[in-house]
């Protein structure tokens, strides 16, 4: 499987299962309605596990522009491939969001809460504050990318860095921990494609009484993860020099 297709498929499964669990919890008349935050965080962890497991052997299972950019900044991934991976990740995220909408179409129709509908596709802050919302996404993504550096081996001499199929579980557990511990303020996007791709689909799709797509906030789940990834890469490089 070519890396572009692997990233597209892996990210599509990531969003299908991740946005799908949110839909199951927040939309009206589903079997999982109001089952809570723990269900959402476990569902997203499983989504990460499946996405990584499916694509690891073919693309290294980035599934996230923050991972791709972080690896490139650290010199562990070819910059020429960064646009290819990011395009695949956005395409996969949009496909996954489309499939969630198809699966839950009747439940979107039965839900009046426009914020609940948007939350299936993308994040919004519990308490809006530009500085602290951005800081939360930076911190959460730093934890993700820094953790992934060491999950893949943490050897500064390894080029390129690639996640393997056996890394699916530890990465999923890392995402579970981030969701449980740091997800409260913003919903832990920690992935520009995971948020912006489905947000675009929310804007495009004919969702009944959907309200606006939250464009005023949309830059935070993009810039926060990118900043967090760059900081994680720089920290990794500095610690590697110290053999830590």
Domain topology for 3-241:
Glycerol uptake facilitator protein (1.20.1080)
Domains in the chain: boundaries: 3-241
Q: Are 16 and 44 in contact (CB under 8 A)?
A: no
The Cα 117–Cα 209 span in angstroms is 9
Q: Specify the pLDDT at position 197.
A: 98
pTM above threshold 0.85? yes
Average pLDDT, 10 consecutive residues per value, the chain (244 residues): 95 98 98 96 98 95 97 94 98 98 98 97 97 98 95 67 84 98 97 98 96 96 98 92 70
Peptide bond connecting 172 to the previous residue in cis, omega within 30 degrees of 0: no
């Amino acid at each position: 499987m070519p890396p572009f297709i692997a990233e597209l498929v892996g990210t599509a499964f990531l969003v299908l299962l991740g946005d799908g669990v949110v839909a199951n919890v927040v939309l009206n008349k589903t079997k999982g309605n109001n089952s809570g935050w723990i269900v959402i965080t476990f569902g997203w962890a499983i989504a990460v596990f499946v996405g990584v497991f499916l694509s690891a052997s073919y693309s290294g299972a980035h599934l996230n522009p923050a991972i791709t950019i972080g690896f490139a900044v650290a010199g562990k991934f070819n910059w020429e491939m960064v646009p290819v991976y990011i395009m695949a990740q956005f395409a996969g995220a949009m496909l996954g969001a489309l499939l969630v909408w198809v699966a839950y179409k009747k439940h979107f129709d039965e839900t009046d809460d426009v914020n609940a509908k948007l939350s299936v596709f993308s994040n919004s802050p519990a308490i809006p504050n530009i500085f602290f919302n951005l800081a939360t996404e930076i911190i959460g993504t730093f934890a993700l990318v820094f953790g992934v550096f060491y999950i893949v081996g943490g050897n500064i001499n390894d080029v390129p860095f690639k996640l393997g199929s056996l890394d699916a579980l530890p990465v999923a557990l890392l995402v579970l921990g981030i969701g449980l511990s740091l997800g409260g303020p913003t919903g832990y996007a920690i992935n520009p494609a995971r948020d912006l791709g489905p947000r675009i689909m929310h804007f495009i799709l004919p969702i009944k009484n959907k309200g606006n797509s939250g464009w005023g906030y949309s830059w935070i789940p993009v810039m926060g993860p990118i900043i967090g990834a760059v900081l994680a890469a720089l920290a990794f490089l500095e610690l590697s020099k110290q053999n830590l």
